[in-house]
């Protein structure tokens, strides 16, 4: 049975639980801070603690696949369990894997994360469009079929991103603006929110020169450890701020392993975002 469209499920989750995404990024240094070994057992303990502490409270989790993949098949097993348990607790899962390729390879990536019977099926997937937006077609099609969503890298917070994303095409538009335009087309006529979003860094300052009104969600990493605050969101996102999904990772995770502390900090960030958005 195909799920309700991701955009509709995301809008409801953010309205009910608050507009916050918590990253699950088990860095080796963070495991050490928690008193855990940098091994599969430490990875499993860390991930289980985060999901159990926050799974019934936050709207979205964003596990970073690379930190699980580095442990091979045993790490992926931990990730599979985390995805299932997070979704069972009512949180949506955005798999941060940033996949991008062409043809059958892109289709295989899509099937890994967006096919409903896959062990790693997630509510949405981050993807890279820099082999051309059209290369994402297999993922777009499967996401529509399964009720999942995509977050396309558009205006990322890393300084190196600008040399590609802000490059100007022959038609006078930047590459980032072109990607945003494609997403607006994907989401046309969808409500209450389209399922095809953009990744736009919360650290980028005034983005009024870009049209962020794509009728889809704007995943905004950079809150907390990277320097952005919830109060910055209206300046960065302007009239599109209600569709922002602010993402916090280390700003929450460094308060573990105590579950009450994790929950309290996540609630504080959620309250601060709500205040900032009015």
Residue with tokens 């995301």: 10
**What per-residue string of b and e applies to 20-59 under the rule 16 or more CB within 10 Å gives b?**
bbbbbbbeeebbeebebebebebbbbbbebbbebbbebbb
Q: Do residues 48 and 10 lie in contact, with contact meaning Cβ atoms separated by under 8 Å?
A: no
3-state class (DSSP) for residue 192: coil
Please pick, among 62, 98, 137, 239, the residue that the annotation labels catalytic.
98
Residues paired with residue 99 on neighbouring β-strands, in sequence order: 127
C-alpha 250/C-alpha 242 separation (Å) is 23
Chain centroid to Cα 27, Å, comes to 17
Phi-psi region of 2 (alpha: psi -120 to 50; beta: other; left: phi over 0): beta
Longest dimension (CA), the chain: 54
Exposure string (b/e) for 115-135, b if CB count within 10 Å is 16 or more?
eeeeebbbbbbbbbbeeebeb
132: Cα separation from own chain's centroid: 21
Chain-centroid distance, C-alpha 74? 23
Indicate if 239 belongs to the active site: no
Give the number of other Cβ atoms within 10 Å of residue 212's Cβ. 23
Where in the sequence numbering do the catalytic residues fall? 98
């Amino acid at each position: 049975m195909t799920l309700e469209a991701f955009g509709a499920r995301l809008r409801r989750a953010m309205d009910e639980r608050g507009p916050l995404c918590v990253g699950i990024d088990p860095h080796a240094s963070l495991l050490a801070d928690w008193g855990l070994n940098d091994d599969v057992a430490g990875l499993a303990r860390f991930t289980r603690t985060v999901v159990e502490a926050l799974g019934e409270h936050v709207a979205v989790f964003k596990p970073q696949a690379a930190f699980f993949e580095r442990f091979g098949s045993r790490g992926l097993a931990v990730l599979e369990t985390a995805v299932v348990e997070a979704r069972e607790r009512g949180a949506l899962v955005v798999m941060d894997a940033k996949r991008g390729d062409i043809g059958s390879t892109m289709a295989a990536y899509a099937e890994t994360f967006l096919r409903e019977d896959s062990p790693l099926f997630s509510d949405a997937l981050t993807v890279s469009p820099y082999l051309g937006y059209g290369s994402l077609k297999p993922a777009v099609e499967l996401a529509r079929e399964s009720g999942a969503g995509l977050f396309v890298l558009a205006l990322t917070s890393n300084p190196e991103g600008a040399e590609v994303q802000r490059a100007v095409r022959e038609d006078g538009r930047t590459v980032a603006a072109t990607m945003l335009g494609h997403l607006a087309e994907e989401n046309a006529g969808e409500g209450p929110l389209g399922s095809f979003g953009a990744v736009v860094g919360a650290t980028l300052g005034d983005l009024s020169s870009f049209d962020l009104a794509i009728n889809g969600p704007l995943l905004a990493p950079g809150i907390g450890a990277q320097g952005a605050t919830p109060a910055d969101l209206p300046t960065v996102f302007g009239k599109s701020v209600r569709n922002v999904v602010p993402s916090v990772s280390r700003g929450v995770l460094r308060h573990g392993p105590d579950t009450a502390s994790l929950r309290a900090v996540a609630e504080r960030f959620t309250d601060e975002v709500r205040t900032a958005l009015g």
